[in-house]
A and B are shown apart, each in its own frame.
Chain A
């Protein structure tokens, strides 16, 4: 190879590599030069240019989809918050305690869902949220809806921070936690003092969710299978949605234990 050929090969190779590096940095403004020689470098340059065009198109499509998905989550969250605000407004016209309690239950259910959409549109991949972050935010929101800042109910968590879940499963899980924790606030602590614990763990094949309180529990004469409040009916239905095995725990208070497969 003479020096002239060596220089030509070096220059063409470098020029093509520069463009590949630009594409790797998602800069699609550059193109490799195609000469009239119609040699192997022109063929490679032609392929690199076309791959760059296809890559640019794919990147734009993905960005458009992500932006659309973010908009969807944002709108769903906003709509749910409007519904919640309307219920609040309706509640301000009455002093009926039963009606106010019903409104609060409905609002908490709506908020448990809107929180997921809010976290999704703020998340990087728009499809999954961190279970630990969500459960902590949700339980604090329920706490303030029941007792404001004067509650002596404390929370303990044992949640694997590595677990992220998609909305499809996070919504029923959020509603289950909402029902269980709301029930604890309503019935478990007559002296407004107690502990609620939420565990969320992962084995190789299953997720494990446990929500317990150290309150007064159910009266001994009530059998578990006769326990038919709307809250427990909802927990049962939502467990089915997760294909989970659900157990009611009655030692030292009341609790719920759910086991469901990771690969649903």
Chain B
């Protein structure tokens, strides 16, 4: 995943809107994601479009840990979000555990799938784009 110069450089993430209408967020290597980092990322993601919703590609390959409050926040349960679906890329040992834990225990409220590569994730997210 190439990070464009226009990407927002957040504490634990690089976040930007792709030209294809799919938002992207890449976890910085070794990040230990806490609630404030999740909220910081969410503010940026929700600012991309005001009136329309979009899918989000999350590259979680560099993650080291994510605390419970952050996982809970990312489920979007009980809060306003512009996100229609999550495609999460995992490949490292830790990212696989965190990704699967998020899916099975935290239970996100929008359609979510785990992928081992970016192409497959983008293909799946395409169908959630608003027409």
Contact = CB atoms under 8 A, between A and B. Distances in A.
Contacts of B94: 34, 38, 42-43, 46
A40 B94 CA distance: 8
Chain A at the B interface: mostly helix, strand, loop or mixed?
Answer: helix
A43 B93 contact: yes
Interface stretch (B1-9, B35-43, B44-52, B96-104): B96-104
A57 interface: yes
A228 interface: no
Residue among B30, B97, B98 with most chain A CB within 10 A = B97
Nearest to A43: B93
A28 to B, nearest CB: 11
Instruction: Please classify how large the interface on chain B is, using the bins under 10, 10 to 19, 20 to 34, 35 or more.
Output: 10 to 19
Contacts of A47: 97, 101
B68 A54 contact: yes
A96 interface: no
Nearest to A50: B101
Majority secondary structure of chain B interface residues (helix, strand, loop or mixed): helix
Contact of A34 (B64, B71, B101): B64
Nearest to A37: B93
Contacts of A53: 67-68
A36 B30 contact: yes
A39 interface: yes
Contact of B96 (A43, A50, A57): A43
A34 B30 CA distance: 10
Given A34-B65, A36-B30, A57-B68, A50 B93 contact: no
A46 B98 contact: yes
B107 to A, nearest CB: 12
Interface in B72-131: 92-94, 96-98, 101, 105
Nearest to A57: B68
Nearest to B98: A46
Interface of B: 30, 64-68, 71, 92-94, 96-98, 101, 105
Given A38-B93, A57-B68, 9 more contacts: A38-B94, A42-B94, A44-B97, A46-B97, A50-B66, A50-B98, A50-B101, A50-B105, A54-B68
